[in-house]
Amino acid sequence: MSKKFIVALVAVCLLVFGCTGGESITAPNDEIDTNLFDVYQTNDFAIGYPKGWKLKDDFTSDLTQATEVAFISHVKEFFFTPTVSVSMREVTPGVKTLDFAKVVMAQNEKSLLNFNLVESADFALPNVDASVLHTFQGKVQPEGDLVEYFQTYAISDTKAFIITGAHDPNGDPLLAERLVETLQNFRVR
């Protein structure tokens, strides 16, 4: 897959759905709390997303073909509606999740204007060798607003997943918590 295509794909995913050392964040367990979250499942993964959020899985653009699903908040912040998206890419066997995360973050840094890595933290996901939660900010376009992203990664065999939450950095902190909780609810199958 060409670097230009991957950079364009990451930029489009960040636009449409719309982290130096830190503390460790651990997924609570293998079960998703269905009292708070609805569950979306495929043969490759499952993810719990907040009840009441809209599900979108019918993408028509060629650039968003790697995007498997997105979840859109029912609450709009000042200029942005919080979202979570799951993208999938094919990788060669043996690629480690943390190595994949470095490549994706380098692409994020190149594709976003005013890029700022806010924090990186160890992030445990069930059935994943290791992962990290990156919190970063940036703009997709010069005249656009600054967006804050939470992003984590998972690899299963030759499938690599990028799970991204996006919101207004000046928005409701509770919505930001919901985004991180949704990322914690990602499970490879």
Chain-wide mean pLDDT for the chain? 82
- pLDDT at position 64 over 60: no
* pTM (two decimals): 0.81
The DSSP symbol for 153 reads E
Mean pLDDT of 161-186: 93
Q: How far apart are the first and last CA of the chain?
A: 24
Which helix (H) or strand (E) segment is 103 a member of?
Answer: helix 97-111
- Characterise 9 by phi-psi region: left (phi > 0), alpha (psi -120 to 50), beta (else): alpha
pLDDT in tens, 81-136: 899 999 999 999 999 999 999 999 999 999 999 999 999 999 988 888 889 999 99
Tell me the domain boundaries of the chain: 3-188
pLDDT in tens, 71-80: 999 887 777 8
**147-168: pLDDT as tens digits:** 999 999 999 999 999 999 999 9
CATH 3.40.1000.10 fits 3-188, yes or no: yes
Residue pair 55/40 in contact (Cβ under 8 Å)? The answer is yes
Structural element, H or E, at residue 81: none
